[in-house]
Chains A and B, each alone.
Chain A
Amino acid sequence: MKAVKLALLGTLVAMPGAALADELNLICSADVVICEKLVNEFEASHSDIDVNMIRLSSGEAYAKVRAEARNPQTDLWWGGTGDPHLQAGQDGLSAQYKSPMLDQLQDWAKGQAEVSDFHTVGVYSGALGWGYNKEIFEKKGIEPPKCWADLLDPALKGEVQIADPNSSGTAYTALATLVQLMGEDEAFDFLKKMHANVSQYTKSGSAPVKAAARGETGLGIVFQHDAVSQAVSGFPIGVVAPCEGTGYEIGSMSLIEGAQNPEAARTFYDWVLTAEVQSLMPEAGSFQIPSNANATPPKEAPDLSTIKLIDYDFAEYGDADRRKALLARWDEEVGSLPVQ
């Protein structure tokens, strides 16, 4: 009997990961489906490397990497808005690496690498906009907003959701975009007025459009590709690129300084920048623009050439002090207003 028990216990303990292989500890800050797709594809083509993936939002990921600064447990951080990646580069948390794939990338992706002195690189990009629930707008008989200015329409009272820029990179991108588009004072004026229409500042960046998809709110200010993926899964979501112009994110990737498996991390780094891999992304419901110039962009993706993009200053708005000042002002002038 004892032997049987021991044997059972033994198999239980030994079950996961019995094979000895190289390891790669990956933080993935994109949608969990995309993360799993990447890992499965990578493991299928690199049977000698075992990937341990964890999905964390870009804020969580940065917090984890920073908390482990003196003793990194992560090798590679893939995805999520560029700001925390740039921040990590500035703090010396990520390692410098010039991938041989760099030449094949779009200019904005290379730009991200150059701005950070090759501590990070762009892997995808997406423009800011919003998704609205067509059914709700039809029922209420409101015209869907086309421009930032339309969001102040009193008919939208209680229908708008956007994330809290304190907790979400998406919302911070929106804040920085408005500041660059209108000027700082005007932007805060705009946000204060828009507050009358906002029903909730969510914690996670893409939550507003998910709420809109399920009819919990009328409209969510998010990255357009997040809105597209809701529309593709069948929800009645319309995607809008604001007429005044809009900001964008560069989803990035960084190698962690002092990583335990730098070899495996670099293998993944180069692999994930190839056109073949990036062309696979739409299968996993990712509708961002791939960074490899030769990759086929998903046909549902918003066409960047038809969107009026502002010349987003990643260096200035990625800077820690600037960011802190903007967030503090947001807290004081917008966050402190009574909840609607």
Chain B
Amino acid sequence: MTSRDNRRLDLILAASLFALVALPWYRIRSGFFGLEWVPDFFSSEKLWPGLLQALNGKWQLLPILVLVAAAVGLRVMRKPGTRGAAMIAIGVSGLAWMLAEGLAIGLRGWNWGLLEALFGDVSGQPAFGAGALMVVTGFALMIAFGAAERGALKGDAFVLGAITLLILLVAVFVFYPLVSMFSGAFQEFDGSFTTEGVRRNIVDPKIWSLGCLAGGNCGVAWRTFFLAICTATGTTLLGLVFALVATRTGFRFKKSLRLLTVLPIITPPFVIGLALTMLLGRSGTLTNVIEVATGWELGRWLYGLTGIWIAQMLSFTPIAFLVLIGVVEGISPSMEEASQTLRSDRWRTFRKVTLPLLAPGLANAFLIGFIESMADFGNPLVLGGSGGVLSTEIFFAVVGAQNDPARAAILAMVLLFFTLSAFLAQRFWLTGRNFATVTGKGDGGRHISLPKRVAWPATTIAVAWAAFTITVYAMIVFGGFVKVWGLDHSLTFEHYIRAFGIGWDEGIRWTGVAWDSFWTTMEIALLAAPLTAAVGLLTAWLIVRQNFPGRSVFEFALMMSFAIPGTVIGISYIMAFNLPPLQMTGTAVILIACFVFRNMPVGVRGGVAAMSQLDGSLDEASLSLGAGSGRTMRKVILPLLRPAILAALVYSFVRAITSISAVIFLVSAKYNMATAYIVGLVENGEYGIAIAYSSVLILVMITVIGGFQLLVGDRRIRRREERVSPGSPINKEANA
């Protein structure tokens, strides 16, 4: 053991020393990986490593040198087992000092007036660069290895290291931005402290007024809340109808119904809203038909909460369906059979047995609908009318002519309060109840089919809604091929050619206007997807397989980022990562980080579900044969987790392409994403190209998902062999 202890300590010490003498300590503007800095490394002061910087007047780096030196001393003087506490102390003080000096000294000297008064002037410093980040990692690992040498978690350094690094990452990419956003509310843009903005906004009647009850305007917070309740109710009911029709009727087109539910998930935002205006707006196709037939004047009823509600129903019903179908299928038929044996008819059974058993699932779908509606950005932007909702108000508070970051922060806090309350309600109230439907007893028998008086209306509603969805999508396809949507319906390929044209002039020339953002999107989505899967599954493994103090807090903190709406993430990221110590705005890194930490919770959930199906004896066998936990993870767990890996890959890939609310704040001239580009097109009325671009994105996603699906299928065949082994019951549904 001791040689291993020394070996890994040597590794991080060597890395830290290397970072201190050979890597630029501060951030390089042209980028580190371009390696353009190498030739100027010695001549340019800005590129010097930490050691030279410290000797050259950056006194704030001296404590770091001292700490690293102390760690080297520890390695030489003391034996493993006697130095754990000291290592932890060095690591913690190193991280604390770097945090303190990084936050205190900005580009132009002290960040806080108080420090300047105390210590006098100091020269400014740029953001952390490669050298600094490597040393931070070194300190973090020092804590983990110190704990391992003291025997925590059976001295498993890999697990401890993974936990420490994950905590560090989550702290940096989830909590630090939130804290910056809230502190940003109290800052003027030159950095000085003020409470004026917060005081003005927190009581603003435009947020909190309940005037609509008395015929006036309601505040945006209540409007959003009301909309979210309506959307959640509507999607839950429709989702239930779909789930019942798909599982408990003789309806013939069940397969197509399922396919329909996938479409909205991979549709870029705005598209549904756009199609709705062309269909139901004042001069929409359907509106015209109705007006001609009936002579009513329908007008502009679509704009405002009604329109947003319809668009959200179209977008989020599939999610409610996916949640509910599992629950509907999961209900044990024996309960219903018992009810019928006791001479209840089918209607009474449905009312008194089936529905109550569905309650937790319904509540779950309701809460997801609530959170999704609160966080929705694309639909309200297109259909919002005069009054926006919280997410759009936040956006315009930042980018509008009023330009009030304090207001944005307050609105973001209100939004976060709503979604987190819903999330907490789900955690604490529902988790206890969910078990009620899973009996674990023998589930022989078939589900009874729906009673007639439910089946007919349900089928009718499902068919009508499906027809409506199909019409909306037909409009979308159509819109890409007509000259000017709503005016000149002659067919043309013009939009596709303008967006995706390819020229031939000494090699391929990507002449289409969409190519730049398209390649950036693909590049970032393809980079983010594996990272998301990796971080998510590593976390899942730690949660399921490792027992460490604070595990449930750890899990909760990770899952919480799921409830943070995209707009809030976007704005908190620019507030946190535009200035030292960490500066990433305008790079691809900030987009990737945003996607990874936003989508990771789903990877974690999938991983936890899949991992609880793998018997622990597999790990134990590997461990008792002498493999470390890192090796066990790589050689045993990962190969068995392929479906979960692929699910996480697909999900993060799709979300990276279709999300807009966070992205719109983070794109830059160099890294523009497809959705942000499409928003610009929509804003300028270039509907044809916007739709052509969106259709291409949908096709690309279907192709990629299809590719992933093939790989997943490959895994399913092998599962049959595993089923034979006792003790590893595999439940396909839980995996889905």
Contact = CB atoms under 8 A, between A and B. Distances in A.
**A is bound by B:** yes
Interface stretch (A28-36, A242-250, A274-282, A301-309): A28-36
Interface residues of A, number: 66
Interface string B166-193: 0000000000000000000000010000
B373 interface: no
Contacts of A74: 669
Contact of B217 (A12, A215, A336): A336
Interface in A22-45: 25-27, 31-33, 36
Interface stretch (A64-72, A94-102, A144-152, A265-273): A64-72
B486 interface: yes
A66 B402 CA distance: 13
A162 to B, nearest CB: 11
Given A54-B667, A71-B107, A199-B300, A16 B516 contact: yes
B79 interface: no
Given A59-B399, A59-B401, A216 B217 contact: no
Given A73-B585, A260-B29, A216 B402 contact: no
B680 A32 contact: yes
B669 A52 contact: yes
Interface in A73-121: 73-74, 84
B672 interface: yes
A32 B106 contact: no
Interface in B560-594: 574, 578-579, 583, 585-586
A338 interface: yes
Contacts of B516: 16
B486 to A, nearest CB: 5
Interface in B657-694: 667-670, 672, 680-681, 683-686
Given A32-B686, A74-B669, A166 B303 contact: no
Interface in A4-22: 12-13, 15-17
Name, among B189, B668, B681, the residue most crowded by chain A CB atoms within 10 Å (CB to CB): B668
A337 B283 CA distance: 27
Contacts of A25: 668-670
A331 interface: yes
A214 B681 contact: no
Nearest to B585: A73
A32 B400 contact: no
Contacts of A293: none
Contact of A214 (B217, B487, B667): B487
B317 to A, nearest CB: 26
B403 A63 contact: yes
B155 interface: no
Interface in A171-219: 172, 199-204, 206-207, 210, 213-217
Interface stretch (B450-458, B518-526, B531-539, B631-639): B518-526
B433 interface: no
B120 interface: no
Contacts of B486: 214-215
A1 interface: no
Contacts of A201: 386
Interface string B486-497: 111000000000
B402 A327 contact: yes
Interface string A42-62: 000000000011111101101
Interface of B: 29, 106-108, 189, 205-206, 211, 215-217, 277, 281-283, 299-300, 303-304, 381, 384-388, 392, 396, 398-403, 484, 486-488, 513, 516, 519-520, 522-523, 526, 574, 578-579, 583, 585-586, 667-670, 672, 680-681, 683-686
Give 5 nearest A-B pairs by CB, closest first.
A215-B283, A167-B400, A52-B669, A60-B399, A73-B586
Interface of A: 12-13, 15-17, 25-27, 31-33, 36, 52-57, 59-60, 62-64, 66-71, 73-74, 84, 158, 164-169, 172, 199-204, 206-207, 210, 213-217, 230, 233-235, 260, 327, 331, 335-339
30 contacts: A16-B520, A16-B523, A32-B681, A32-B684, A32-B686, A62-B403, A70-B106, A70-B579, A71-B579, A74-B669, A158-B300, A167-B401, A168-B401, A169-B401, A172-B401, A201-B386, A206-B685, A207-B683, A214-B277, A214-B281, A214-B487, A216-B281, A217-B300, A234-B488, A235-B487, A327-B401, A327-B402, A336-B205, A338-B211, A338-B216
Given A12-B522, A200-B386, A203-B392, 5 more contacts: A16-B516, A32-B680, A158-B299, A166-B401, A339-B387
